[in-house]
Amino acid sequence: MLQNIFVLLLLWSAIYDSKMENKMNNQAFIPLPKPQTTGEISLEETLNKRRTVRSFSKKPISLSELGQLLWAGQGVTSPEGFRTAPSAGALYPLEVFIVAGNVSGLESGIYRYKPQNHSLAKIISGDKRKDLASAALGQQQIETAAANIIITAIVKRTSSKYGSRAERYVNMEVGHTAQNILLQVQSLGLGACPIGAFHDEKVKKLLQLKEEEPLYILTVGK
């Protein structure tokens, strides 16, 4: 009798743990709309019109637009896991974070982009655009942008194969990724500003980075 009760308790515990794990997984990952692979504007026209924008309206960008920008930067484009931007040795040292404050369908907060399943993982809740602006020498466009995309790198992923050349290759890769995003911004009729002036340690603390080093901030908005 006692043995049967013990078995039932174990089964109930396993079912409860499974449900809790599924609940946590559902909360942890926010699926993004499927990215588009065709558009209405040519590459040549996009290149011709690309300009830096530092003034943004209060209109939100959509979750679909944000997802499209993230896919343009680091989206997976093949069964082998290759991405939209080239990477030395296909080692992909870059990580992409989002400080969102005015994205329709997405709560304000800090998120990490997960290229493998085109989703977001929430890190911190709440609008942190002002804090990011403070870490970036008070640049106002960061606070008024609908979202800020921060590109970081884990250099040891590349140095494990390329040694001292890794830093150069990572810098090349962040340039590829940023330009992809900027061109996608233009093709969507949005505005963006690339930013390199910020206090690394303050950005790392805000984003709760461990191994990642912040390299680039891209402000995005209407």
All residues at 6 or more sequence positions from 172 whose CB lies less than 8 Å from its CB, including other chains: 88
Q: Look up the domain containing 8 and give its range.
A: 1-29
Q: Are residues 22 and 80 in the same domain?
A: no
Give the pLDDT score at 7.
35
CA-CA distance, 99 to 28, in Å (whole number)?
A: 16
Q: 216 with 121, same domain?
A: yes
d(CA 129, CA 127): 6
- Residue 32, pLDDT score: 98
Q: Which residue has the tokens 């069964």?
A: 79
Tens-digit pLDDT profile for residues 100-136: 999 999 999 999 999 999 999 999 999 999 999 999 9
pLDDT for 204: 98
Cβ pair 212, 153 in contact under 8 A: yes
Distance CA 109, CA 130 (A): 12
For residues 43 and 60, state if they share a domain.
Answer: yes
Q: What Cα–Cα distance (Å) separates residue 209 from each residue in 74, 99, 119, 212?
A: 19, 13, 19, 6
Domain containing 160 — which CATH number?
3.40.109.10
Do 41 and 140 fall into the same domain?
yes
Same domain, 90 and 168: yes
**13-22, 144-153, 165-174: least confident range:** 13-22
pLDDT at 19: 41
CA count, 13 A, side-chain hemisphere, 167: 2
Q: For residue 142, what pLDDT band results from cuts at 50, 70 and 90?
A: very high
From residue 136, give the alpha-carbon distance in Å to each of 78, 177, 182.
36, 20, 19
Do 94 and 142 lie in one domain? The reply is: yes
> How far is residue 123's CA from residue 85's CA, in Å, rounded to a whole number?
25
Res. 6: pLDDT tops 70 = no
- Residues 91 and 109 both lie in one domain: yes
Shared-domain flag, residues 24 and 36: no
**Helices in 113-165 by DSSP H: which ranges?**
129-135, 140-144, 156-162
Residue 81's pLDDT is: 96
Say yes or no to pLDDT of 9 above 50. no
- Residues 25, 56 within the same domain: no
Half-sphere exposure of 27 (CA within 13 A, CB side): 9
Number of compact structural domains in the chain: 2
In this prediction the pTM is 0.87
Residue 68 near residue 113 (C-beta atoms within 8 A): no
- Are 9 and 44 found together in one domain? no
Structure tokens at 210: 């461990």
Mean pLDDT of the chain: 90
**What is the tens place of the pLDDT at every residue in 115-125?**
999 999 999 99
CA proximity to 41, closest of 178, 190, 179: 190
Measure the CA–CA gap between 170 and 190, rounded to whole angstroms. Answer: 27
Instruction: For 159-176, write each residue's pLDDT tens digit.
Output: 999 999 999 999 999 999
pLDDT-derived band at 64, boundaries 50, 70, 90: very high
C-alpha–C-alpha distance, residues 199 and 48, integer Å: 32
Q: How confident is the model at residue 1 (pLDDT cuts 50, 70, 90)?
A: low
pLDDT for residue 143 is more than 90: yes
